[in-house]
Each structure stands twice: as structure tokens, then as C-alpha cells.
Amino acid sequence: MIELSKAEFEVLDAVWLGYPATASEVIARLSDNKEWHEKTIKTLLSRLVKKGALSFEKQGRQYNYTPCIAREEYTLKESQSFIERFFNGRIAPLVSGFAKSEQLSQHDIDELKKVIDDWEKQQK
Amino acid sequence: MIELSKAEFEVLDAVWLGYPATASEVIARLSDNKEWHEKTIKTLLSRLVKKGALSFEKQGRQYNYTPCIAREEYTLKESQSFIERFFNGRIAPLVSGFAKSEQLSQHDIDELKKVIDDWEKQQK
DNA sequence: ATTAATTGATTACGCGTGTAATCTTAACTT
DNA sequence: AAGTTAAGATTACACGCGTAATCAATTAAT
């Protein structure tokens, strides 16, 4: 699995918002939330390319970046390893922890029910 | 929040198995699964103390280590920040990702249903 | 009482990460 | 055509982490 740092993931996330994307576009997208220097973001883009998370095509003197992996795929892998490390690979204890500490809203519960529902239909 | 590295967490996890615990006990507990050198584990214990995750009392020339935080508390915080980073703070998409990729067993589903059930009773 | 052993403390060291600054070169400007 | 930008490449640097080895001191053994 490609291992990304927190900062690298945030940059990749900005690319996932719409791609191909130039560095300037990524920088613009991130400028709302983060106080990152332009140079910092470019460094992170380079590291993402080096790690095989982004590919690019030259377009004049700019690069057009495209993710090499889907967000769902990446987050699934991360979720798996997270749940493995903290909950022995089982997902219910995580949800249960949220429930116990009142982190769940009715909306969350409804969504979870739907997920379960869909899963059961799938099994049928 | 106390920030622990992966290795630090694994050592703390071994302390949670039963405490107070001496370094030797922790080393023994970890020896089954990990190939860590004794010195490495002691370094990690020290770092956990420095970070405020473990406290200790001298007992002869050994230390008796005790966690300063509960496992549930720590994993909940970690879960929150994980879900925040990857799923905008919502838990259903995580579960949904597992479902879609066939990572869920009937057992998991049953557990999740129970969590939901308990939550709803709580609300009543 | 010395010596040996064991425990925690201190030091080590290369790699990844966050955070940029500087360098180089290709593309606009005039 | 020459100068000026601006984009990416390269370099920088301190700190955390994984992974121990060495140092110091106190207890246990003889």
C-alpha cells in the first residue's frame, strides 16, 4: 500500500476534488482551509508523484496532475489498517465507542441502518 | 490529545493488558508477536512516560508502569480524528466502504445491529 | 565488602515529515 | 532576441520515530 503522510493526503484530497489539476489549482483549493505556503504544496505534490500516488502530464510549463488511486480505494485500505490496529479488525467496537460517548446522531443511525439494509439485500 | 506513534501505542497496549506492569512484563507480553529488542521496548516505555501516557512508581530497582489514560478513551479520540480526516466526521461512509468491498461478515452486521439497538433504547 | 548483574537514563543515527528557500530552465513579454 | 517570470527540481533543516547501544547506578550475589 502506498503510505502517505497526513499533509500528503490532504493535498491528494484536493486533487481528488477535480482532476487533472494544475499545481495552481490545487493551491487555490487548499488556500481556503490551510495556511500552507505555495512552495510547501508543491513539495507535497512532488512527493506524491514520487510515491506513485499522482501522475502528471506536461502542459506548457505546468503539470496536470491526476491521482493514480481512487479515494474510496485509499480510504478503505486506511480504514482496514486503522481498525486492525485499534480494534483487532472488527468494526463494531469502533461504532460502539462512538455510541457510548454520544457521538452518534439520529442521522448517523439512519445512515447505518441503510448500510445494513443494503448489505442484507445484497446477501439475499 | 496525547499523540502516540504506532510503536508507542503497541507498547501501551501491552500495558493495558494488565497493570501496574514492570518493563520485563511488558517485554514478555510483546515477545510473542513482535521482534523487538528489549532496549527498544524500554525506549518506548520512556517515551510514553515523557508524553504523559504512562506513570510509574519505583519498586526496588524496577518501575511499575500504569497507563494514565483508558484504552477506550484513547481509541475514541483516535477514531474521531481518523473519521474526521477521511470521512468528514461521518461514520456511515466508513462502514459503507467496508460493506461495498465485502469486508463485513454476518457477525459484524449482527454486532452493528446490536449497537444501533442499544443506542435507540438509550434514546427512548 | 567487592563484584556482578540488571535497570533505567542517556546517547546515537538514519529516515520521514513539515515547512520552505534557492536553483534552473522553459515560456511569456516587450 | 533578450529579459523577466514562473513552474518544477533540488536543497535545507529541525524534529519525531524506529531501533538500539552504551552509561550509570543500585541491587543482588559471593
Please tell me whether residues B63 and B95 are part of one structural domain: no
Residues in A closer than 8 angstroms to B113, CB to CB, are 116
Confidence of residue B1 (pLDDT cuts 50, 70, 90): confident
Query: Would an 8 Å CB–CB cutoff place B117 in contact with chain A?
Result: no
In a domain? residue B60: yes
B62 reaches A (C-beta below 8 A)? no
Phi, psi of A7 (to 5 degrees): -65, -40
Residues B44 and B96 in one domain: no
Q: Looking at residue B25, which CATH number applies to its domain?
A: 1.10.10.10
Distance CA B56, CA A101 (A): 29
Alpha carbon distance A32, A27 (integer Å): 9
A59 secondary structure, DSSP code:
E
Domain membership flag for residue A44: yes
pLDDT band at B85, cuts 50/70/90? very high
pLDDT tens digits along A78-121: 999 999 999 999 999 999 999 999 999 999 999 999 999 999 99
Q: Contact at 8 Å (CB) between A11 and A48?
A: yes
DSSP string, B27-77: HHHHHTT----HHHHHHHHHHHHHTTSEEEEEETTEEEEEESS-HHHHHHH
Q: Which domain holds residue A13?
A: 6-67
Q: How many domains in chain B?
A: 2
Tens of pLDDT, residue by residue over B32-71, are 999 999 999 999 999 999 999 999 999 889 999 999 999 9
Nearest-nucleotide field for B61 (CA, C1'): C7
Q: Do B111 and A98 touch (CB under 8 A)?
A: no
Q: Which of A20, A37, A67 is the last residue of a domain?
A: A67
In a domain, B86, yes or no: no
Instruction: Examine residue A117 and state whether it is found in any structural domain, yes or no.
Output: yes
